[in-house]
Amino acid sequence: MNDTSTPPEKVSDARIAAAEVRLPTSDLAADLPFFTRRLGFRLDQIFPADDPSVAVVSGHGLRLRLERSAAEAPGTIRLLVDDPASFAGGDTVLTAPGGLRVEIVPAAVAMTIPETQHQFLVRRLKDNTPWVIGRAGMHYRDLIPDRLGGSIIASHIRIPDGGPVPDMVHYHTIGFQLIFCYRGWVDLVYEDQGPPFRLHAGDCVIQPPEIRHRVLFASDEIEVIEIGVPAEHVTTIDHEMELPTPHYRPEREFSGQVFVHHREAEAAWGPWRLPGFEARDTGIGAGTRGVAGVKVARRAGEAAPVVATHDCDIFFAFVMDGTGTLEADGTAHAIEAGDAFVVPPGMPSKLTPTSDDFQLLEVALPAEFRTEIG
Averaged pLDDT of the chain: 93
Give residue 128's pLDDT: 74
pLDDT in tens, 191-235: 999 999 999 999 999 999 999 999 999 999 999 999 999 999 999
Task: Give the mean model confidence (pLDDT) for residues 29-43.
Answer: 95
Q: Where are the domains of the chain?
A: 21-106, 131-258, 266-373
Strands (E), 84-208: 93-95, 101-106, 121-123, 132-133, 139-142, 153-159, 163-164, 170-173, 176-183, 185-190, 197-200, 204-206
Cβ–Cβ under 8 Å, residues 298 and 266: no
pLDDT of residue 12: 60
Residue 122 has pLDDT above 80, yes or no: yes
* Higher-pLDDT residue of 133, 40: 40
Which H helix or E strand runs over 147?
A: helix 147-150
Greatest mean pLDDT among 10-19, 61-70, 156-165: 61-70
Please give the average per-residue pLDDT across 130-140, as a whole number.
Answer: 78
CA-to-CA distance for 93 and 101, rounded, in angstroms? 7
pLDDT of residue 143: 96
State yes or no: pLDDT of 110 exceeds 90: no
Q: Which percentage of the chain shows pLDDT scores above 70?
A: 96
CATH number for the segment(s) 131-258:
2.60.120.10
Give 217-279 as a 3 state SS string.
EECCCEEEEEEEECCCCEEEECCCCCCCCCCECCCCEECCEECEEECHHHCCEEECCCCCEEE
Q: What is the predicted pLDDT for the residue at 38?
A: 94
What average pLDDT does this structure show over 3-32?
79
131: pLDDT confidence band, cut at 50, 70 and 90?
Answer: confident
Q: Which residues does residue 65 pair with via DSSP β-bridges, in sequence order?
A: 22, 56
Q: Are 181 and 199 in contact, with CB atoms under 8 Å apart? A: yes
- Can you tell me whether residue 108 is helix, strand or coil? coil
State the pLDDT confidence band at 125, using cuts at 50, 70 and 90: very high
Both ends of the chain: CA-CA distance in Å? 40
* Mean pLDDT confidence for 147-174: 93
pLDDT of 134 = 72
Pairwise CA distance, residues 314 & 118, whole Å: 8
User: Is 266-373 a domain of CATH 2.60.120.10?
Assistant: yes
Do 131-258 and 266-373 come out as alike in CATH topology?
A: yes
- Cα-trace Rg, the chain: 26
> pLDDT-derived band of residue 182, with 50, 70 and 90 as boundaries?
very high
Do 75 and 29 contact (CB within 8 A), yes or no?
no
Average pLDDT over residues 62-73: 93
Mean pLDDT confidence for 2-17: 64
pLDDT of residue 4: 60
The predicted structure's pLDDT at residue 152: 97
Q: Report the amino acid identity of residue 143.
A: L
The pLDDT of residue 1: 65
Q: Is the per-residue pLDDT at 8 higher than 60?
A: no
Task: Domain 21-106: give its CATH architecture.
Answer: Roll (3.10)
pLDDT tens column, 306-350:
999 999 999 999 999 999 999 999 999 999 999 999 999 999 999
Distances (CA, A) of 131 to 134, 140, 149: 9, 5, 22
Confidence of residue 129 (pLDDT cuts 50, 70, 90): confident
Average pLDDT of the residues in 292-310: 94
pLDDT of residue 67: 95
Residues 6+ apart with CB under 8 A from 265: 200, 202
The residue type found at 327 is E
Contact at 8 Å (CB) between 139 and 224? no
pLDDT value for 132: 87
pLDDT tier at 172, thresholds 50, 70, 90: very high
What type of residue sits at position 292? A
- Taking residues 350-364, report their average pLDDT: 96
